[in-house]
Structure 1
Amino acid sequence: MKIGMNMSSNTNKFKFNILTASVLASLSVGSLPAFAEEEKIETIEVTGIRGSLIESMNKKRFSGNVSDSITAVDIGKLPDATIADSLQRITGIQITREGGEGTKVNIRGNENVTTTLNGEQMITAGAITKLEADFADIPSTMVSGIDVLKSTQAKHLVSGLAGTIDLQTTRPLSLDEGWTALGKVEATRGSLGGEVDPSVSAFVGYNLDTRLGFTLNIAKSESYLADYTNGSQGGEPGRYGGWSFMATEANNFVQDDIDVSGDGDTNDVFYSFQGHQAANRFIERDRTGINSSLQYQITDELQLTAEMFYTKLDEYAMANAITASQAWSSETGWFTPLEATGYHNVTHVDGEPVLNEGEFYTLQSALYQARVVKAQSFTRADEKEAFNSNLQLDYVGDSLSLTLRWVHGEAAADETNSVVDSFVTDGSSIGDTYHGPGKTFISHVNPWGYQGTEAYLPDGTVVEGAYTQIPVGIAYSGGKQHWAFPDMMLDDGTTEAFGSNLNRYSAKSSNLYGIYTNADLDVIRLDGKYELDLSIPVLDSFTSIEFGARSAERTVSKQGWYGGVARTNQYGDAFLARWKDTATDAPETVESYIAPISFTELNEKGMIKAIDDFHGTTGLGTLYFVDPEVMKDPIAWHNEIYGTHVLTPDAANVYEVIETVTSAYAQLNIETDIAGMLLIGNFGLRYVETEFDVTQSEALQGTVANFNGQDFLLGPGMQKPVGNTLRTVNKYNNALPALNLALNLNPDMVLRFSYTETISTHDTDNIGGGLNVNRTKTCEQTTDTGETVFCATSGTLFGNPYLEPQQNDNMELSFEWYFSESGMFNVGAFRNKGNVKEVDVTLMLDNIPDSDGVVRGFDIETGTYTGVVPIQAKVNVPAKGDWSDTGIEMGYQQGFDFLPGIWSGFGITANYTYSPGESDLTDYYGQKLPSVGQSKTQSNIAIWYEKDGLQARIAQNKRSKMFQTLKNDGAYKFAYFTAPTTYIDASVSYEVSDLVTLSLQGTNLTEEHQENYHQWESNIDGQVYAERRLTLGVQVKM
């Protein structure tokens, strides 16, 4: 699909290159980790669960810094369904889930985590602009091991503030000589989706006399994941909350000065959502992964490595949601409370909490007066591809070793969204009409829809002449959402259940939009190590010096767009409209340009779906929706229903960021004796120089834009496209020391200390993004020609190119006791201090115009014009805080091989993390909040068994409430949390022979769901329901 002329895209070009590279690499070179690793003090041959845990334990034991590891039970077989699911078993790791699958990862509550591949930076298509690790697009069978680095050495030139996750792939010269081959086939079925999802993977490798080798790993899987949601409208449960207002007894109900709470006064305030929804939602994923490697031992000193790592994810998120809302009216008090909880009424003035008169109430159950009831259909189509390659030459001499690497990466993520709002009501309660020139009335927007009844006071008194509404009961209790729709009286005196008649529905409004994101990475790096042999006292403690330099350039380009349907008004002027809405006016002539579209008509085309499955709710019968499946190609569907669209650029989401990083390091490695105890460690300094070359977009001025050689008026919902561009160059440098010490108290006990200083870059959206403004028509303004005005109410300034890097100082002290071959106990304390912090601020701007160019500053809650619009923005400020409170990590692992008989096959792995870190954010009461994505406590426990070819494991992951974000709503602050969760997974496998293994795995066995709330657990904002998934598999070795 061609985008408007003043917006370019290289997506198609990238796909051609990436596919070509994948095919060529599969035939020749592939994925191979670095040859010049640190020496391995102990070699363990991995077999089964026990062997995997032993190898992971030994990697931790002999690491030069604080780290944890996961080693695959076999080639391409991590112990969980996804990479993120495996990572959550490590102390300090916390994950988020989507569709029940682990996707994003943080370390000790900090999402600033860098992902590397075999020790060097990689690009993942799931996190092109972001910092956080996102493993949704990487098949777990492509990874043989994972290292989590919680402290850095000076030589770790690529790292995050919280740590680094290094994915590792299998090397051909590490295989047994000759051929190695295996294949695996799996079938997975979810308890709610009911479909069987296939997965196949294959690995082949050849090692010729430890001189020449190659590997090829291919993975393909499909999944259909239940992801039901309910709660407030406008939010994304588990990420951020829905639209909300404050409703005062004095001003915001159907009449002013109403004693809603019944306490004899009118000074109380209610927390009010704009709407409530219940959604049948599924996520469909199709993953492909290829990694291949070539390794050649040129001489005894020289080794050549070539590797590639390719992933592709096609994903469709599809939802059908029934919603009841107050349609952005000034009557934010659109309910009669049935169950409510009262609190002190606390607002914030100049950052300080202030106690006000009256009570503040949240609702658990109410009878709502819905101005609109609609059936919303949503499809998000994602295409994500990433290609990472490494060409590496290693030299190992007697004293000197050198590694030269060229790393190249490309990634593309194309996201296209289609939203259709179908009215079940007729639209009369909000004054929406289908009209001709001059707004001549033709019909209501949904002439077949239900009409409402007159609004009433909380005591039931009807208020004549106010507005009409549909009474809807909505309550939250017992982990579910409960609905009660009325039976509707028809003109012939009969009744029908609300929403039960397909012919009552109309596709009233739709929206098409998307984002194309691309990234390129090139790295040249030289690392060296020189072994020292000094006989001078004190200096003889220095065993080697490591040094290196790195130059990297990363380019991120983002191109957001809106789909504008091409129409002409009554004057014959061509215009583009984002909102395909029956009630919306054509520019200048103000007639409707979208005729009512009945479900009867769409049903004849096979586009309507009946749904009665709203898991997590009660009271909802069969309802009807535009089928999201027919919108899997959103652009094609909108062209079919509405006609030709032009994809027009959104200036707030069009930018290019070029990040150039030059770095160098020097590191001394030490080994000495202190009172008969061996001290091993390293200390060094890395220097990092960073330059950002940022090109931002400025919106075009005026109401006319040219696309593909034709002038168009910018109609309803259209954002002004790119006019001028603004280039900014920001440059800074940092010197970062690192110290890691390990004191061997005896052969089995290690005491570690680390002190490191780290920096990290930003999400490129926060550097290059522009201004996005929210506008609504509820201000009831019109132009001189009668055209409806959309008034600016709020907005977000996404990008600030002058942001300085985030900086942290990290310190850790830990103790490790290796009391048997498979037994370990460890405990550690960690602290950190932020030196620069990124904070959200609210700017009250007086230069944000409404759709007609006039600055008004409409306040929805008060219905007044303030002249200013609140805009959310990000700035850097120096951190004034001291070291954080001390966090604690504890771990225990033991195989019970000392027990007799069957009991010798059992073992246990357990860990606990306490992360009390605080951010500078404060909640409703002014109390400090944790970092985003942080739970204060998390624990894991796994009981496993391995004996006589049988392997089994059951694991529990438990975490306390997780802080997601802070919502500023006027003078009020509300912390948004996810309630505590407990997930239980299990697996069992049996080796039928040396060549064949059968397996069965279950995830989320208890069908745990996520409950999200604002400030108080009873103030439910949204709930997410995933399914139990069972996987049956067979693996064959050859």
Structure 2
Amino acid sequence: MRDVTPQSRFTVRSRLLGGGVALWCLAMAAPAAAQVTSAPPPADGAATPAEPAEPTDSDIIVTGIRNTIETSIATKRNENAIVDVLTSSDIGDLPALSIGEAIQTITGATSHQEKGGATEISLRGLGSFLSATTFNGREASNGSGDRAVNFNQFPSELVSGIKIYKSQQANIIEGGVAGTIELETLRPLDYGKRSLQAEVKGNYNPYQDKIRGQGAWGWRGTASYVDQFNLGSLGDIGIAIGVQRNQVNNPEETYAAGSTYYACNPLVVSTGTCAQVTRQQGAAGAAFYLAPNSATFRQITEQDKRDAIIGSLQWKPDPTVDINLDVQYSKRNYSEDRHDLTIAETAYSLRNVVYDDQHRLVSATGSSSIDTVGNYLTRSEEYLGGGGSMNWKATDRLTLSTDVSYSQTKRRTLQRTVRLRTDPFDVNNVRTAINNQRIPFTYDTSGGFATNITLDPRFNVNDWSLFSDDARLRRDDEYKQDTIFASRIDAAYEFEGLLKKIEVGGRYSRRRYLNINDLVEITQDDRTVDQRVNNACRTAFPQAGYLKDAPGQSITSWATFDTLCQFRGYLGTEDPGIGADTRAVDNADVTEKVWSGYAMGSYEGQLGSTPVRGNFGVRVVQTDVVSLGLRSGLNVITNSDGSVRLVENDNFETQTLTNSYFRALPSINANFDVSDTVVARVAAYRAMSRPAPSDLAAGRTIALEDGTAFTNVADAIGQVVADGSPSLKPIMSWNGDVALEWYPNKDTIVAGTLYYKSFGGGFTPVLIDETFTIGGQDVVVPVTQRQNSAEKSRVYGLELTLSNRFSWLPAPFDGLGAKVSYNYADSNFKNYDIRLGDVVDPTTGVVTPGIIPAANLSGYSKHTGSGQLYYQLKGLSLEAIYTYRSRYYQDFVGGNSQLRYVRPSNLINLRASYDINRNASLRFEALNVFNNPKVTDMPVYGNSRQYHYYGPKYFVGIRVRL
């Protein structure tokens, strides 16, 4: 048996971290007591720090990573809520290539990795679906079908600041149980100076160098311009524009088992797919092991190009009016030439089965059809967002503001796939050595996460002629569109005394999510045509050293074909076009309308001798959802013996499902300036996170039983699967936070936050009887879908932040600095496996126990942390960034799938820059330096399902500022 839990490694890491923290605190405390306090200015009305008794370095212009940390510390201190910030006084100075990589250096924030880059962000170890993201205070659309934002969408060079609200306040758009991430673009008049800069970076990917016929080099170029103009009687106007071209490939090698796992009975030796154990049998003690339905080795050759533009215009016609217009646009085009080797029936005729006490399959022998599959995928994704806002100071005390915004993401993915399968005869009609369609294989995971599959040595996996049967061509065209229109109006009135300000406002938004799928499938069984195309479209295996970094691999290459050549050979065209009818049961059409309003008061005064400031208020939210879906049509065919069979037709029934809910979200924040250097914060609030739009799809897919003769229609239906659950309600939580922050000087912060979240329920599978009319007959079939459960759950956690520049060391070591952040979260939330977990009868409330354990919150990690070590001396800046995330459950977009876990990740990135002079600097970045793979498991942790290797990436370039 293997140890799949990295607990011992984490224990060592925790002890080292704890010891380091203690020593660091002592090191900071001594010089902090001796040196003069130079803290950032407090909020209005707060205690004023003591005046310095001797000159400081405040007149020195601080740049680079030190400037970013200092500015972030100052901004955090002055906030009225519990907030973490990453900002810089100069554009282009955020410490990362992408927004995602920048955010994961913020305390409590961690990212999900895709294609070697940071994408979705989780806060406080909780899933991205529990976070809200705003762009200049507005919701942003995406192309995935969930509410998480792909933070690779925009480069960090074009964003001026990132603010994460850990506690809520009433004037923030609802949606963040874990927190709200606010991205800010530059306001050129507020920036106050002219800036013209350009940066070009070359990119080297060692993994791309392994692809035959491909270059390892790419590039990215960024340019920005900021300026201000006085228009005389028309006031002042400022403009800012930034553009980027990113032509950097993302090589990837991967192995993946299928997304369906069977609970197989080890006591029954099957000649077909393994005998399955039901929930009831497993709960009664029946033995079982978990086996995937298939397994695939995948080699990918990719081309990737991205363009991004961010622009803003700020106009102040007079001191009382501030008008801002901004726009963000990005377009990404990429293609993947995929080559798969698929063991199509990994649960077929399994023998010599070894499994562990967690029901994980360790080893077995079996036999399966073997497929070589070519898949040419192209994707275009376009984002357009922006809006306009106006602030008018109507009187000395009254300010009115309004904002109108639009955000739309369009994503189209076209896949053309050709499958060739093994057969007793090769493509030349010669009997093969094995003389069977199914090839014997061994399955072994005893060596670790990398599943090792060994095929019978009589089968030469690199022989093109052995893939001769069941040619299937598929054209899969998917279009997703996510559109958000929103408007808001706000008013603020200022007072004197304890109550400083009252703010009220209202907001309306309309979001529509569309997912349209068109699938054209063509089968080919003419052996003469097979032979001609097979010989014409053969290709050498596209890369060298496939999966050489994964342990124990016996399959390192296989017979591959040119997919577009196969389409031309079989169909006479590379693209047969869309089908005559694009309706499909997995299409989605979800419209969500939200009306919200808030009232919030800000206060500032004294509690005894202690200054106190903060806010209190309530936000009320009404949400209405309409989901349109299709049910597939079936014809009932009566056989000659009187039995029946079902045949799909092109008739669809439209169904409209609705959902509506009202929520009130009270909040209070209190901040106490305990001393010149210490701030204590308390927050209590209620928060909500809505389900993803794709989770609200209304379609139903009817799976038919194998066979052609049944006594009635009900027997012919295997199961009905819900494509989504429109009745899902938002996750609601009551929250409490207590924070203590110490600011001994402008480079230093020591902060800790305790937080607690109480949830109103999780998600659970339910069986709901639905009536389907098939061939004039009403058939009642139980449909499995997810609903909110009545279970209560909670999260409690601890955040720690330590940041210090070692100015107390002698030169030149005083240029050293470091930041460490850590988050611990403990949750008892439960997500049940849709196939093998607990299931509830909503009518009777009876629970049928599942046979595998429930997962926690999607994206929940118990431990997350990051560390930055930097050195800055005159024009030289060096930085190393380490991020850690413990294992987490990751839901599939669209829900209603089996449980998937991501194993712990350890990433190290490096950055360096050198200022040649005041206008030019050399830049260097290295990502994923030690080639940390991403490993996922299903449907229990440790049962390896997939692993990805991306390799490191290196960037080197020059930036010029004028």
TM range (shorter): 0.7 to 0.9
Q: Are 1:225 and 2:262 counterparts?
A: no
Is the CA contact (8 Å cut-off) linking 2:305 and 2:334 kept in structure 1?
A: yes
Residue number among 598, 601, 604 corresponding to 2:536 in the alignment: 604
Q: 1:384 to 1:1008 in 2, by over 3 A?
A: same
Q: Cα offset for 1:377?
A: 2.1
Residue number among 297, 301, 308 corresponding to 2:316 in the alignment: 297
**1:510 corresponds to which residue?**
473
Is the CA contact (8 Å cut-off) linking 1:751 and 1:816 kept in structure 2?
A: yes
For residues 286 and 509 of structure 2, the distance between their equivalents in structure 1, rounded to whole angstroms, comes to 60
**1:272 corresponds to which residue?**
291
**1:993 corresponds to which residue?**
917
Q: 1:509 to 1:452 in 2, by over 3 A?
A: farther
**Greater strand share, structure number:** 1
Residue number among 585, 609, 617 corresponding to 1:684 in the alignment: 617
Q: State the one-letter code of the partner of 1:998.
A: L
Deviations 1:71-103 (A, max 9, x none): 258413431222112212222223211111111
Is the CA contact (8 Å cut-off) linking 2:926 and 2:952 kept in structure 1?
A: yes
1:1027-1038 map, 5 Å: 1027-1038=951-962
1:97-112 map, 5 Å: 97-108=113-124, 109-112=126-129
SS for the counterpart of 1:181 is strand
Give the fraction of aligned pairs with identical amino acids, expressed as a percent: 18
Residue number among 476, 500, 510 corresponding to 1:543 in the alignment: 500
Q: State the one-letter code of the partner of 1:406.
A: V
For residues 133 and 688 of structure 2, the distance between their equivalents in structure 1, rounded to whole angstroms, comes to 15
Residue number among 559, 572, 577 corresponding to 1:624 in the alignment: 559
For residues 514 and 255 of structure 1, the distance between their equivalents in structure 2, rounded to whole angstroms, comes to 31
Q: Cα offset for 1:1026?
A: 1.7
Is the CA contact (8 Å cut-off) linking 1:445 and 1:596 kept in structure 2?
A: no
SS for the counterpart of 1:506 is strand
**1:246 corresponds to which residue?**
264
Q: Cα offset for 1:295?
A: 1.3
Does 72-81 or 195-204 show the bigger shift?
A: 72-81
Deviations 1:771-807 (A, max 9, x none): 124457xx343799xxxx9975445312343333332
SS for the counterpart of 1:648 is coil
1:317-328 map, 5 Å: 317-326=336-345
Q: Cα offset for 1:611?
A: 5.1
Is the CA contact (8 Å cut-off) linking 2:227 and 2:240 kept in structure 1?
A: yes
**1:433 corresponds to which residue?**
none
Deviations 1:22-70 (A, max 9, x none): xxxxxxxxxxxxxxxx989999986210110111112211112111111
Residue number among 674, 692, 695 corresponding to 1:763 in the alignment: 692
Q: State the one-letter code of the partner of 1:682.
A: N
Q: Cα offset for 1:453?
A: 4.2
SS for the counterpart of 2:472 is strand
For residues 145 and 270 of structure 1, the distance between their equivalents in structure 2, rounded to whole angstroms, comes to 50
For residues 776 and 256 of structure 2, the distance between their equivalents in structure 1, rounded to whole angstroms, comes to 36
Deviations 1:369-403 (A, max 9, x none): 22x11112223322111111211211134212221
1:948-963 map, 5 Å: 948-963=874-889
Q: Cα offset for 1:844?
A: 7.2
1:733-812 map, 5 Å: 733-775=662-704, 779-781=706-708, 793-812=718-737
Q: State the one-letter code of the partner of 1:826.
A: A
Q: 1:249 to 1:305 in 2, by over 3 A?
A: same
Is the CA contact (8 Å cut-off) linking 2:762 and 2:830 kept in structure 1?
A: no
For residues 806 and 255 of structure 1, the distance between their equivalents in structure 2, rounded to whole angstroms, comes to 39
SS for the counterpart of 1:915 is strand
**2:811 corresponds to which residue?**
901
Q: 1:824 to 1:267 in 2, by over 3 A?
A: closer
For residues 206 and 740 of structure 2, the distance between their equivalents in structure 1, rounded to whole angstroms, comes to 43
Is the CA contact (8 Å cut-off) linking 1:773 and 1:792 kept in structure 2?
A: yes
1:431-510 map, 5 Å: 448=429, 451=432, 453=434, 469-476=438-445, 477-488=447-458, 498-506=460-468, 508-510=471-473
**2:792 corresponds to which residue?**
881
Residue number among 258, 270, 287 corresponding to 2:306 in the alignment: 287
Give structure 1 stretches of 5+ with no counterpart.
1-37, 236-241, 258-265, 345-359, 429-443, 455-466, 489-496, 534-539, 564-577, 583-591, 705-715, 856-866
**1:343 corresponds to which residue?**
357
Q: 1:965 to 1:170 in 2, by over 3 A?
A: closer
Is the CA contact (8 Å cut-off) linking 1:665 and 1:684 kept in structure 2?
A: yes
Q: Cα offset for 1:672?
A: 1.4
Q: 1:965 to 1:659 in 2, by over 3 A?
A: closer
Is the CA contact (8 Å cut-off) linking 1:815 and 1:827 kept in structure 2?
A: yes
Q: 1:842 to 1:947 in 2, by over 3 A?
A: farther
Q: Cα offset for 1:917?
A: 1.3
Q: Cα offset for 1:509?
A: 1.5
Is the CA contact (8 Å cut-off) linking 2:297 and 2:341 kept in structure 1?
A: yes
Q: Cα offset for 1:916?
A: 0.9
Q: State the one-letter code of the partner of 2:811.
A: G
For residues 512 and 39 of structure 1, the distance between their equivalents in structure 2, rounded to whole angstroms, comes to 62
Q: 1:596 to 1:660 in 2, by over 3 A?
A: farther
Q: Are 1:839 and 2:801 counterparts?
A: no
Q: State the one-letter code of the partner of 1:764.
A: P
For residues 773 and 671 of structure 2, the distance between their equivalents in structure 1, rounded to whole angstroms, comes to 58
Deviations 1:512-554 (A, max 9, x none): 2232222332222112211102xxxxxx311111111112222
Q: 1:928 to 1:421 in 2, by over 3 A?
A: closer
Q: Are 1:193 and 2:208 counterparts?
A: yes
Q: Cα offset for 1:998?
A: 0.6
For residues 284 and 768 of structure 1, the distance between their equivalents in structure 2, rounded to whole angstroms, comes to 32
For residues 393 and 628 of structure 1, the distance between their equivalents in structure 2, rounded to whole angstroms, comes to 54
Q: State the one-letter code of the partner of 1:675.
A: G
Q: 1:106 to 1:695 in 2, by over 3 A?
A: same
Is the CA contact (8 Å cut-off) linking 2:464 and 2:534 kept in structure 1?
A: no
Q: State the one-letter code of the partner of 1:1006.
A: F
TM-score, normalised on structure 2?
0.81
Q: Are 1:910 and 2:820 counterparts?
A: yes
**2:38 corresponds to which residue?**
none
Is the CA contact (8 Å cut-off) linking 1:246 and 1:332 kept in structure 2?
A: no
For residues 380 and 717 of structure 1, the distance between their equivalents in structure 2, rounded to whole angstroms, comes to 33
Is the CA contact (8 Å cut-off) linking 2:615 and 2:669 kept in structure 1?
A: yes
For residues 1025 and 167 of structure 1, the distance between their equivalents in structure 2, rounded to whole angstroms, comes to 30
Is the CA contact (8 Å cut-off) linking 1:366 and 1:473 kept in structure 2?
A: yes
SS for the counterpart of 2:696 is helix
Is the CA contact (8 Å cut-off) linking 1:471 and 1:486 kept in structure 2?
A: yes
Is the CA contact (8 Å cut-off) linking 1:76 and 1:141 kept in structure 2?
A: yes
Is the CA contact (8 Å cut-off) linking 1:48 and 1:73 kept in structure 2?
A: no
**1:378 corresponds to which residue?**
375
How many residue pairs get matched? 855
Q: Cα offset for 1:813?
A: 0.9
For residues 629 and 1002 of structure 1, the distance between their equivalents in structure 2, rounded to whole angstroms, comes to 35
Is the CA contact (8 Å cut-off) linking 1:106 and 1:132 kept in structure 2?
A: no
**1:460 corresponds to which residue?**
none
Q: Cα offset for 1:451?
A: 3.9
For residues 111 and 665 of structure 2, the distance between their equivalents in structure 1, rounded to whole angstroms, comes to 29
**1:581 corresponds to which residue?**
523
**2:415 corresponds to which residue?**
417
Q: Cα offset for 1:881?
A: 1.6
For residues 334 and 719 of structure 1, the distance between their equivalents in structure 2, rounded to whole angstroms, comes to 32
Is the CA contact (8 Å cut-off) linking 1:659 and 1:692 kept in structure 2?
A: yes
TM-score, normalised on structure 1?
0.76
RMSD over aligned Cα, in angstroms? Answer: 3.7
For residues 157 and 966 of structure 1, the distance between their equivalents in structure 2, rounded to whole angstroms, comes to 26
